[in-house]
A and B are shown apart, each in its own frame.
Chain A
Amino acid sequence: MTTQYTAAYAKLENSLAGSSLGWLKALRLQAKEQFIEQGFPRLSDEEWRYSNLALLEKKPFNPVSESELGHIDIADLEAYKLSDCWTLVLVDGHYSASLSNLAGIPDSVIINSMAEALISHPDKVKGYLGQATETKEVGFSVFNNAWFTDGAFVYIAANTVLDKPLQILHVVTDAEILANTHHIIALETGAEASVIETFVGCEEQYATVSVTEVFVASNSGLTLYKTQLEGDKAIHLGGVYVKQARDSRFNHANFAFGSLLARTDVHIDLAQAAECDLNGLYLGAKRQHLDTHTRIEHLEPYGISKELYKGVLNDKARGVFQGRVIVAEQAQKTDSDMHNHNLLLSDNAEADTKPQLEIYADDVKCAHGITVGQLDETSIFALQARGIDKVSAKNMLTFAFANEMVNKIKFKPLHDQILMHVLNKFPQAGIDQSWL
């Protein structure tokens, strides 16, 4: 079943990013062999027991070369571009210089397509590529490593503060296309940056595979947002693999609103006193299947990890959350806190939630809390007691449940964009945006 992809990519071999580099060829070859051996993850794999990827095998999706890119509706795309940002646009897995805006980037910063970075800064890329991706477990990262067509390379030199966020905007234009991208975001000591990954696409069935490797050097801080707004029929596989050095900070906010089938893996390795804060919101309707797996490994002492994921599931939608926290034997004084709350709006909606704590140290603080349920009756009554009818009270509380996560977004253009999508997702809520 893997042969169709092997054959499809064999045709594109020369248009893959960095195709002339020997070390990269070797890396890709090794990944390809691993993929041929294990294929896509299966339901029998523990980490994949809720998400069935058979669609990727039953109906092969097609990678496209740069010369075969689909038509793009510029006006549609502009609606997703955020103001006050640099923008790097990837169309069907390939960088589009004409749609991007990277003017005025400071000299101490590199923001480029992966293909161009492999030409202009091959040694820098080599130092990072594949260093954070998950290869031990069955997953899609080997598929990505073998055949990513392009991506973004972001490098922030020591003590540089990127004063505007970078938006990496992924667009898929047509049915049956497979877009496969690989990004690297690397911050040197004392650097700070914000990056927003936005995924959008057409209303036909297509597939996105995207891996982002993040390197946060000592005392640096990255805020990374992921807004998955893919088309209703899309398949989305996304991985964020993070290496945090001593005293570094990493904030992740993960919004999953689109796709028929979406899975995001977030893996974080924490060195001494490194701190991560993970927030997520998944909103599912109809037959959407939205799966998030997070894995935080406290490898050294004094690390802090905070995690809050919320899901609202309507119709026959299904939400999956698995949160693993691993505290190594030497990671004493770890402070870890993980919560997942799910709101089911229909009898046919489903939430599967699985916290997993693996603690090998003996002096740590690890908390977790999980809920799956309906709205709190006391809160509904409290609103009724202020003259608000029961249906409006429920709508307001449902919106509030989701909006708690939206309110955490500090970058206003993104906050407003996400808020609009939350309101669109549940139009019955009848929330008056002008009041918010």
Chain B
Amino acid sequence: MISIKNLHVSVGDKPILKGINLEIPAGEVHAIMGPNGAGKSTLSHVLSGKAGYTVTEGSVTYKGQDLLALEPEMRAREGVFLAFQYPVEIPGVSNIYLLKAALNAMRKHRGEEEVDALDFLTLAKDKIKALEMDEKFLYRAVNEGFSGGEKKRNEILQAAILEPSFCILDETDSGLDIDALKVVSKGVNDLRDKERSFLMITHYQRLLDYIKPDVVHVLADGKIVKSGGPELALELEAKGYHWVEEQVS
């Protein structure tokens, strides 16, 4: 699905990512853990095309194409989805308007007709129910006045409706209480299938109790310093990031 080779990224003159190598085959869930400042969010931003980052070396191939050459909206239309760590509030645009505009942009890209209003409503209500959100959220302004947990759920709702092939979850678990974490995790687990890949960026091991990854990577100082199975997360939890950093140096 996605192949990252020797990726170097700077912000201004400052190197943040220093040679990332990562292969995520279709259907797999990879978790990236790491201390603050390791470059986790930079990786998610670069993959989704946010401005302000310079790729100085390396490549990212997604479904056989050069991902870094695509505008952010083209990446999204090709199936790359970023669940934001800090979802933006858009007072004045309702959730349902955004969802419909986004879905239609994707359908148009695929040469399909715009979604029928009634079919869309049925779809949206179906998905929102699965995330244990009130239907009223569809008509509220995007994220305005939402709690932290509601904002994260709203990101997963967007993923559920847009059905991307590659989901980047940027600290989707941060700030959630255990009930919200369970709901969000269930939403993600419902999306798992053999064609869809996930890159889960997290600071906390707790998330991995609810979404079982196939592979866990540890990112420190801009590099993946260790990869392994889910047991690596437990080891990290027990010994702390300090342990990995020591091993590297």
Binding site for B on A (CB under 8 A): 376-379, 381-390, 392-393, 396-397, 399-404, 406-407, 434-436
Contact = CB atoms under 8 A, between A and B. Distances in A.
A401 B162 contact: no
A382 B84 contact: yes
Interface-centre pick from A384, A389, A390, A399 (highest chain B CB count, 10 A): A384
Given A387-B77, A390-B73, A435 B97 contact: yes
Contact of B162 (A386, A404, A406, A436): A386
Contact of A400 (B48, B82, B90, B102): B90
B72 interface: yes
Given A384-B76, A386-B158, A404 B105 contact: no
A397 B90 contact: yes
A384 B81 CA distance: 11
Given A382-B88, A387-B105, A401-B92, 19 more contacts: A378-B88, A381-B72, A382-B90, A384-B73, A385-B73, A386-B101, A386-B105, A386-B158, A387-B77, A389-B71, A389-B73, A392-B105, A397-B93, A399-B93, A400-B141, A404-B91, A404-B141, A435-B101, A436-B97
A379 B82 CA distance: 14
A373 to B, nearest CB: 16
B141 A387 contact: no
Nearest to A405: B92
Interface in B32-81: 48-51, 71-73, 75-77, 81
B87 A382 contact: yes
B93 A386 contact: no
B101 A388 contact: yes
B176 interface: no
For chain A, what secondary structure do more than half of its interface residues adopt (helix, strand, loop), or is it mixed? helix
18 contacts: A376-B88, A379-B88, A382-B84, A384-B49, A384-B71, A384-B73, A385-B48, A386-B76, A386-B102, A387-B106, A387-B162, A389-B105, A392-B105, A399-B92, A399-B93, A403-B92, A404-B92, A407-B92
B98 interface: yes
B162 A400 contact: no
Contacts of B75: 385
Contacts of B88: 376, 378-379, 382
Given A379-B88, A384-B73, A396 B105 contact: no
A371 to B, nearest CB: 14
A400 B81 CA distance: 23
A402 B141 CA distance: 13
A379 B90 contact: yes
A381 B84 CA distance: 11
Interface-centre pick from A386, A388, A400, A434 (highest chain B CB count, 10 A): A386
A392 B108 CA distance: 14
A407 B51 CA distance: 32
Nearest to B103: A387
B154 to A, nearest CB: 12
Using C-beta atoms within 8 Å of the partner chain, give the interface range for chain B: 20 to 34
Contacts of A387: 73, 76-77, 102, 105-106, 109, 162
Interface in B141-187: 141, 158, 162
Interface in B99-114: 100-102, 105-106, 109
B94 interface: yes
A387 B78 CA distance: 9
Contacts of B96: 435
A402 B90 CA distance: 11
Contacts of A381: 49-51, 72
Contacts of A399: 92-93
Contacts of B90: 379, 382, 397, 400
A17 B93 CA distance: 47
A388 B77 CA distance: 9
A382 B97 CA distance: 14
A386 B97 CA distance: 12
B93 A403 contact: yes
A284 to B, nearest CB: 18
Contacts of B98: 383, 386
B101 A396 contact: yes
Interface-centre pick from A377, A384, A387, A403 (highest chain B CB count, 10 A): A387
B75 to A, nearest CB: 8
A384 B70 CA distance: 12
Contacts of A400: 90-93, 141
Given A379-B90, A396-B93, A388 B84 contact: no
Contacts of A436: 94, 97
A407 B71 contact: no
A393 B98 CA distance: 10
A393 B102 CA distance: 10
